[in-house]
Amino acid sequence: MTSSSFNQSKASPANLPLRDIPGDYGLPFFGPIKDRYDYFYNQGEDEFFRTRIAKYKSTVFRTNMPPGPFISSNSKVVAVLDSKSFPILFDTSKVEKKDLLDGTYMPSTAFFGGYRVCAFLDPSEPTHHALKSFFLSFLASSHKKFIPYLRTSLSDLFLNLETEITDEKTADFNTNSDNMAFDFVFRLLTGVHPSETKLKSKGSGYTDTWLALQLAPLGTLGLKYLPNFIDDIIHTFPLPFFIAKPGYKKLYKAVYESATSLLDEAESSGIKRAEACHNLVFLAGFNAFGGMKVLFPSLIKWIGTAGESLHQRLAEEIRTVVKEEGDVTFSALERMPLMKSAVYEALRIQPPVPYQYASAKEDLVVESHDGAFEIKKGEIIFGFQPLATKDPEVFSNPEEFIADRFIGDGEKLLKYVYWSNGRETENPTADNKQCPAKDLVVLCSRIMLVEFFLRYDTFTVEIGKVALGASVKITSFTKAT
């Protein structure tokens, strides 16, 4: 399989047939609502896309995306759902990312102190370059803190999980992981543990409320006995910021008072102190904590359900290398091919952020595996990442978690792992929209597995579903022998 490419002109270099984009948007007002009901209630997310791929015999088609009326004024998108068409969403020379983080609507800037924070900016906007450079500089300067800070947080996590299992026979991984992730991110950002601030132990709860109000239009409440038409109210009107305001003010104040040197640095680079602080709250609360809230349970879900045979292989590799290196170090982590592959496979099979949006800056041609499609200037392009990263044209047995998929020659497939708003083989810069903490996310996932299998030979899990991904309960640990 060769590297994906997308056309920069109206001609198809691979001589693929130029096709009209199939699909339609239905009647005004009613079409978006019908698609919304199919997406959330009648079919569900995966089936919504798969039935349309089958109907149109195309992985590129027109549809409406939620939330629709009355939250978004325009629900119309061109969906690109395979590994070849999807990368158009990364090419900011051809597409614009302005105010499209959450798709066809944008939450009120009241959630961000009145600012359009970096995630909603297009790279062509001058403020984007300044803010992203600030983030990348901070991450580079914090490099030596990553491993010791996270290992300390993980020690607390595992102790809490073991205590819960002893007391209650099962342990809620999600809640404990959320608390651990918030503590780690806040300490990394400020140098202070949140328990030393007025947040105490409530930081993750405040952040959850703030996130939920922004993202509610993109999900359902998931309450079994709640009628659909009542649940659908959260897709009809924007939820107000005032519910989250008291908690957000405490988060902002804690960062403002604790991250003084970082905010000094921002001011010296020309960024207003308040703007920098609201951006740091977003970086910590939405980008980092929000991502870890989804990713860590997903990682443990896939590793846990893979079974004891994989656990034994991971434990042997991890313990052997750590013993030889003398500690958990960056060089040790690079010497664990199975562990590294397992992390990439978790990111591939269930990307922590499933959606990507952009608008076409000009008329352009996008290629799928079997056709070329002209997208007009101004049209919104939508990608559902889990389908692109489970493209059967690229990955064998794409729905199966294969822990060693990316070992040896399998490393060549990493360019098709798109979880970070870019290819895994590419790097974030101040001029692109790839996640600035891409490498930190991978590192944290690796350390999570390393610390797990330094402590335990195997473990069992019980899997459920929550609004943002998987619900994981640890049902047993077998401590390392």
Distances (CA, A) of 170 to 102, 161, 260, 348: 35, 8, 41, 28
The phi, psi pair for 207, rounded to 5°, reads: -70, -40
CB 388 within 8 Å of CB 413: no
CB 29 within 8 Å of CB 385: no
H helix or E strand, kind and range, residue 105: none
Which residue in the block uniquely carries the two structure tokens 């499609």?
Answer: 373
- How close are the terminal C-alpha atoms of the chain, in Å? 43
Task: Report DSSP letters for 310-365, one per residue.
Answer: HHHHHHHHHHHHHHHHSS--HHHHHT-HHHHHHHHHHHHHS-SS-EEEEEESS-EE
- What angle do helix axes 308-325 and 337-349 make, rounded to 10 degrees? 130
Residue whose C-alpha is closest to residue 284's, from 364, 355, 164, 183: 183
The phi, psi pair for 2, rounded to 5°, reads: -90, 165
CB 207 within 8 Å of CB 201: no
Question: Is 277 annotated as ligand-binding?
Answer: no
CB 352 within 8 Å of CB 50: no
CA 360, 349, 42, 217 torsion-angle sign: negative
Q: CB-based contacts of 264: which residues, under 8 Å, 6+ apart? A: none
Tokens of 386: 């889990």
* 3-state secondary structure (DSSP) of residue 296: helix
Q: CB-based contacts of 242: which residues, under 8 Å, 6+ apart? A: none
Query: What is the largest distance, in Å, between two alpha-carbon atoms of the chain?
Result: 66
Binding site as annotated, residues for heme: 435
Binding site members: 435
